[in-house]
Structure 1
Amino acid sequence: MRLDYKRFSIAFIVLFGIMSVGAFCVNYYTDMYGLRDSHHKHLANLVSTKTHLYKPRLEAKASYYTIGSSRFLRINISRLADELHSHTISSAISSITSAEILFIAKQFKKNNVHLIVGLDAFSLNTQKMVQNNRFEEALHTNTLPYWTNLGDFLILIKEKITDFVFQRNTNYAFEQENKQIAPDFTFEKLEQTYFGTPPQKNYLDYFNYTIDLDEITELAKIVDSKDIFIIFPKHAMHYELFEKYGIKEQYFKAIETLVKNTKARVISFYGVNEITSQKDNFDTLGWHFKPKIGGLILDRIFQKGDYLNLPNNFGVELNASNIDSYLQAL
């Protein structure tokens, strides 16, 4: 039997058209990445770092945006939106640089939105081995709206089937990460990984550590009183290394510069306490806190849950009056 290529081509085009229309409708209606609403979505999707999402996220003009490193992947964006009483979108990106933070903050502020900015010592290092401004590249790349993306459509269908079969909720990924047991690590292991000679490949976050205080000052001044800066926590062993290798002095100067030049709230979770001293609160090498700690961070910021029983130095609101004494105490 001869294959009728004309009919086959027509059938293929019709089928592709039907799938495309179906994908558009399903993607738009379900809004899996939370461009229109942050509720009843997979938390992992709300903080997805897929490059093609950054441009539509900016164009969505939500009331609040998060900016920061992959630590924001451990913050419940849906809950954050509830606490802020506003639509909130994540724009976190792994291994973010200070230049990327400043660039995307400026873009968002053009839309008169508010920001939750997370800061880490490594992200402020201007010598970090990231060659390009990934936000700038994403915003200048012409891509079709994700509503038309067949790949996202198939991912969504798979998620729905998996959730139904295994009776999973939208918090499943967070709950699983809390249960994970990271390989044990020691001070010597951290030191060799991040500060060895040379540091291990892919761990060059503190190499030639340098902070641009002018960049920090500019970031501090473009925000307003409804914005929030979060100084994220790390395992306590990292703080010992910061002091030993001169990171602490520069990082503290950056925090001081930020606080003395901004109208935004600045809340610091830096410091040694029973939370940052527990290895089970972090993943491999004490690098990321687990989602359960992300929940405690929100408890402190919004004075919810069991926040009164948290360590006194876990979430200190900083201002021009207390910044000097706070840093001296550390």
Structure 2
Amino acid sequence: MYKKQIQKLFLLLLIFIFFIITANYLIDPYGYNSKDGKFIKNLTMFNKPNVTSARINSKGFYYLIGSSRMARVNPLLIEDITDKNTHNIKIDGATLVENLELAEKVKKEGKFFIYSFDAFSLNKSREKFKELENRSLIYKKELNRKRFFTKYFNSDISIRSIQHLIKSFKSENLLKQFDEENSRSDEFLYDLAVKNTGINNDISKANFSNYHTYSSEIIKLANLGTKNDIFIIFPKYVSFYALFSNFQDIQNKYLKAIRNLVLNTDAKVWSFYGANEITKETNNFIDNGWHFKPKVSNMIFREVFDNDESSSMKNGVLLTKDNIDDYLNTIKSNVDNLSLN
């Protein structure tokens, strides 16, 4: 009698597990199998170590690597332009070490990356932040873990699946997150930018405090890039470039890192640095010029994947070993003429 009860309980448990796995697989809130009909916030904003690992272990061609700027990039946009399966695996406030680990994992799986080469992520001083050090270890552990059964059977995806169903029942806009950010108005406040970023080095723990860049790690990252990989220097509001030029020699350090990247990679390197039609428009940015609006990513990637070299709508520059030095000299000259506010 007791044995039969145990067997029934075990059978019920198996049925329950099968039901949960099937439901999560079919709902697929994080877009492991398909991005169609998914909420943009789940595809871009919610990237936890287990989600990132699961995405890398899902079918994909391009993987979007970067910081919170990359969170403004809809993987469906890349899929629509390239017809290539794309996943967003950004990490908010990412360090180069974290993103290098992601890039190595992506390449190990025989896939390709679109990598955001952010200035603040290159600040080696950020490695000393305790929370970032611990996070890097968590990501490393997750990336090395074999993932099959738990991909669709864990509390996180189950909760997200329930939320997906509730939002769908309420007919919530799939692009609500992006639409709200695109409609926000903002202005650039010089004092706030200096205060929050630590760019003048008066804060011991901020993104640009004690700014100095990596060296061998950049070369290692560059060497991972093949002809199908892409590095992007995303745009910031134009006044940030004046700040980079005037504090801690950040601009020269960053541009040197970009030069090292270009000279040591086979990947395409696109730069939207400096004054252009995107960066000069405050309406293209939120969060005091720190993040570009999602609508800007449409402009960026249609340009990156546009093969028409004669197009007059170019805001970015495809950097090569032949043009990198002339480009950097032009950038320095143009930025010198920018106002700090």
TM-score (ref. length: structure 2): 0.83
Query: Does the aligned pair in 2 maintain the 1:38–1:87 contact within 8 Å?
Result: no
What is residue 232 of structure 2 aligned with on the other side?
A: 230
Residue 34 of structure 1 is aligned with which of 31, 36, 43?
31
Residue 5 of structure 1 corresponds to which residue in structure 2? Answer: none
Shift of 1:142: 7.6
Q: For structure 1, list consecutive stretches of 5 or more residues without a partner in the other structure.
A: 1-8
Structure 1 residue identity aligned to 2:192: K
Cα offsets for 1:125-167 (capped at 9, x unmatched) = 11113324242133256886231134433432333332342x3
Residue in structure 1 matched with residue 338 of structure 2 by the alignment? none
Q: Secondary structure at the match of 2:133?
A: coil
What does residue 177 of structure 1 align with?
A: 181
Corresponding residue pairs, total: 316
Percent identity, please. Answer: 33
Q: In the alignment, is residue 187 of structure 1 matched against residue 190 of structure 2?
A: yes
What secondary structure sits across from 1:34 in the alignment? coil
Deviation per CA, 1:53-87: give whole Å up to 9, x if none: 12222222522211111111100111212323221
Secondary structure of the residue aligned to 2:69 is helix
Alignment-mate amino acid for residue 34 of structure 2: D
Query: Match for residue 20 of structure 2?
Result: 23
Partner of 2:319: 318
Once the two structures are superposed, the pairs formed by residues 244-255 of structure 1 within 5 Å of their partners are 244-245=246-247, 246-255=249-258
Q: Is the 8 A contact 2:33 2:59 kept in 1?
A: no
In the alignment, is the contact (CA less than 8 A) between 1:256 and 1:323 conserved in 2? yes
Query: Among 111, 120, 127, which residue is 2:109 paired with?
Result: 111
Closer, same or farther: CA 263–142 of 1 in aligned 2, 3 Å = closer
Equivalent position amino acid for 1:36 in 2: N
**Comparing 34-43 with 117-126, which one deviates more in the overlay?**
34-43
Partner SS for 1:60: coil
Contact 2:201-2:209 within 8 A present in 1 as well: no
Please state whether the residue corresponding to 1:145 is helix, strand or coil: helix
Task: Render the CA deviation track for 1:74-130: whole Å, top value 9, x for unaligned.
Answer: 001112123232211111001111111222211221111111111110011111133
Q: Which secondary structure does the structure 2 equivalent of 1:137 belong to? A: helix
Structure 1 CA distance for aligned equivalents of residues 156 and 262 of structure 2: 43
Alignment correspondent of 2:339:
none
Please give the alpha-carbon distance, in whole angstroms, between the structure 2 residues aligned to 1:153 and 1:91: 20
Give the Cα separation in 1 of the matches to 2:184 and 2:23.
33
Match of 1:44 among 41, 45, 48: 41
Determine if contact 2:201/2:210 at 8 Å carries over to the other structure: no
Q: 1:76 aligns with which of 74, 77, 83?
A: 74
Q: Determine if contact 1:23/1:150 at 8 Å carries over to the other structure.
A: no
Question: In structure 1, which of residues 135, 144, 147 is the aligned counterpart of residue 152 of structure 2?
Answer: 147
Q: 1:49-64 counterparts in 2 under 5 A?
A: 49-64=47-62
The CA distance in 2 between the partners of 1:74 and 1:145, in whole Å, is 28
Flag the 1:141–1:224 CA change in 2: closer, same or farther, 3 A.
closer
User: C-alpha distance in 1, partners of 2:106/2:235?
Assistant: 25
Partner SS for 1:160: helix
1:43–1:77 CA contact under 8 A, matched in 2? no
Shift in alpha-carbon separation, 1:264–1:142, aligned structure 2, 3 A: closer
Q: Tell me the equivalent position of 1:242.
A: 244
1:56 touches 1:145 (CA, 8 Å); kept in 2?
Answer: no
Partners of 1:209 and 1:158 in 2: CA distance:
41
Cα RMSD (Å): 2.8
Deviates more, 1:316-325 or 1:272-281: 272-281
Deviates more, 1:131-140 or 1:100-109: 131-140
Instruction: Indicate if the aligned counterparts of 2:39 and 2:175 stay in contact, CA closer than 8 A.
Output: yes
Match for 2:282 among 279, 286, 302? 279
